[in-house]
Amino acid sequence: AKLRSKSNEMGEIRPILASLKPSSTAIPEVPAWTPTSWQSKPITQDVVYDDYKKVETALEKLESLPPLVHPQEICNLRQKLKQVANGEAFILQGGDCAELFDYCNQERIEAKMKVLLQMSLVLLYGTNLPIVRIGRIAGQYAKPRSKLTEMVNGVETHSFRGDNINGFELDQRVPDPERLVSAYFHSAATLNFIRSSLANGFADLHKPFDWSLSHVQDDVIKERYQAIVSKITESLKFMGTIGADKSAGLKSVDFFTSHEALMLEYEQSLTRELKDPETGEKHWYNTSGHFIWIGDRTRQLDGAHVEFFRGVQNPIGIKVGPSMKAQELADLLDIVDPHKETGRVTLITRYGKSRIEGLLPGHIQAVKKAGHKVVWISDPCHGNTQTASNGYKTRHVDDVVGEIMSALKIHEQEGSNLGGIHLELTGEEVTECIGGSSDRNEDDLILRYDTVCDPRLSLTQSLDVAFLIADWFQK
């Protein structure tokens, strides 16, 4: 990886990687895309390092390491997202706001897989649709921040920007390029554990009672969950009797990984030109995860992130917040989805409960008019963050559920369909959000407030949300 110099939008001189050869699949009229073409565009949320020799060494190492995910898996997800866009499947995407390297241990990964599997069982039962499970996991290590510095204990210091940039501890706040390589290995270890668990019966539908609910704090939720499990167990028994339960699909499930592809140096180093397993054609795959999304702060039409995203074969997400103009959304889709491919783009809307009604209908109409067939999912967390009277950043379950219910209704009214939800959650009984069947209030926040970034739904609150969505589909 050769380095050359350029100045970023703040006028600072920083080295960047030299461009690789242009892609053979470049679209005519549009400037050629390469894994490094983003470097000539303005970058928001850029990281400035002290020592670019170390950045170069880290990126060279990353470029030499094998892909984390396989093109076949990326193709499989593309197929599934096509189904979602057509209303034939439903997405459950969720996980931490900021995944720490420390979360790479058996207990935490199992807890997150369990909550997602339990929720997907409830959603499967409620929606009667196959559920596409996508974790915010195995790479959700970079965070956009509204301020690059913050005051901690009277000292102005770098904000925490995610474990692949700097550490949460105060003595770790200077951006460290070696964390980029560390991110790869934590991602690999997390992915390995997920894969081996699933390959060895973790999600076997014949034993969903093993996905213990012992930590769930609400008896009604427990009973409703057990009732679904009993019905499934009965059906499986019957299928066993008639010999129809030999399907591999009952023994395991697909599980995909995702993260915000914010740190483009990292993403670029794992973007490889590989054969499409079905057509044999070569494409650029971002092998750092199956699904990547652009955050609401980095989606500028002429910016570096949009440039990077337009060239990768992975299905991509775009966060759509209240500042998105309808025409801007159509223009953005023309850039990243020039072939108007069903399910290529997932729009992750995050307006806030009080703003969704004024914004979503116009966005749905603009996308339809522009001729793009996207997947629409609702992120009911990021527009509903508030500060509690005791200073904690929190969210109320009623607002979260309120935004989802509005999204379901609006899509129905507009002749569109809500294809899923995107949540910040954890499999543990944290006290970061308020409300829900466990009836958490502001005074409870202090009990177990573990997040280093945004507040996450607890296990019980996550199941609350799943049941309320299931109920809407059953109405």
* Residue 350 engages ligand PEP in binding (rule: CB under 6 A): yes
Q: Is 153 helix (H, G, I), strand (E, B) or coil?
A: coil
Whole-angstrom CA distances from 63 to 48, 73, 132, 271, 352 are 21, 20, 30, 9, 40
355 marked as binding residue = no
Partner whose footprint covers residue 299, from ligand PEP, Mn ion, none (CB < 5 to 8 Å by kind):
none
Task: Say how many CA atoms lie within 13 Å of 383 toward its Cβ.
Answer: 27
Partner whose footprint covers residue 350, from Mn ion, ligand PEP, none (CB < 5 to 8 Å by kind):
ligand PEP
156 and 135 Cβ atoms separated by less than 8 Å: no
Residue 283 or 319: the one with the smaller Cβ distance to ligand PEP is 319
* Residue 322 engages ligand PEP in binding (rule: CB under 6 A): no
Q: In this chain, which stretch among 205-213, 216-224, 251-259, 292-300 interacts with ligand PEP, using CB under 6 A?
A: 292-300
Judged by CB under 6 A, the residue of 319, 344, 363, 396 near ligand PEP is 319
> Which residues are 165's β-sheet partners?
none
Q: 400 to 459, contacts with ligand PEP by CB under 6 A?
A: 454
CA–CA separation, 300 and 43 (whole Å): 9
Q: 241 to 260, contacts with ligand PEP by CB under 6 A?
A: 260
319 marked as binding residue = yes
CA–CA separation, 183 and 163 (whole Å): 7
Reference 255, options 344, 189, 194; nearest CA is: 194
CA–CA separation, 412 and 83 (whole Å): 17
Partner whose footprint covers residue 267, from ligand PEP, Mn ion, none (CB < 5 to 8 Å by kind):
none
Reference 262, options 316, 310, 298; nearest CA is: 298
Residue 181 or 381: the one with the smaller Cβ distance to Mn ion is 381
- Min separation Cβ 162 and ligand PEP, Å: 10
- Min separation Cβ 97 and Mn ion, Å: 3
433 and 455 Cβ atoms separated by less than 8 Å: yes
Judged by CB under 6 A, the residue of 144, 322, 361, 402 near ligand PEP is 144
Reference 184, options 37, 63, 75; nearest CA is: 63
- Min separation Cβ 425 and ligand PEP, Å: 12
- Count of residues that bind ligand PEP according to CB under 6 A: 11
SS3 content of the chain, % helix, strand, coil (to 5): 40, 15, 45
CA–CA separation, 192 and 365 (whole Å): 42
Q: Which residues contact 337 (CB under 8 A, 6 or more apart)?
A: 344, 345, 372, 374
CA–CA separation, 170 and 159 (whole Å): 10
Residue 57 or 385: the one with the smaller Cβ distance to ligand PEP is 385
Q: 381 to 400, contacts with ligand PEP by CB under 6 A?
A: 382
Partner whose footprint covers residue 296, from Mn ion, ligand PEP, none (CB < 5 to 8 Å by kind):
ligand PEP
Partner whose footprint covers residue 112, from Mn ion, ligand PEP, none (CB < 5 to 8 Å by kind):
none
Reference 336, options 360, 318, 349; nearest CA is: 318
Judged by CB under 5 A, the residue of 46, 379, 454, 464 near Mn ion is 454
CA–CA separation, 78 and 259 (whole Å): 16
350 marked as binding residue = yes
Residue 333 or 457: the one with the smaller Cβ distance to Mn ion is 457
Specify the DSSP class assigned to residue 352: -
Would you state the torsion angle of the CA atoms of residues 222, 229, 408, 316, taken in this order, to the nearest 10 degrees? 110
169 marked as binding residue = no
Judged by CB under 6 A, the residue of 62, 68, 85, 97 near ligand PEP is 97
Q: In this chain, which stretch among 295-303, 323-331, 412-420, 462-470 interacts with ligand PEP, using CB under 6 A?
A: 295-303
- Min separation Cβ 298 and ligand PEP, Å: 8
Residue 384 or 458: the one with the smaller Cβ distance to ligand PEP is 384
Q: 77 to 106, contacts with Mn ion by CB under 5 A?
A: 97
Which stretches of the chain bind Mn ion, using CB under 5 A?
97, 454
**Residues flagged as binding site for Mn(2+):** 97, 382, 424, 454
Which stretches of the chain bind ligand PEP, using CB under 6 A?
97, 144, 260, 295-297, 319, 321, 350, 382, 454
**Residues flagged as binding site:** 97, 136, 319, 350, 382, 424, 454
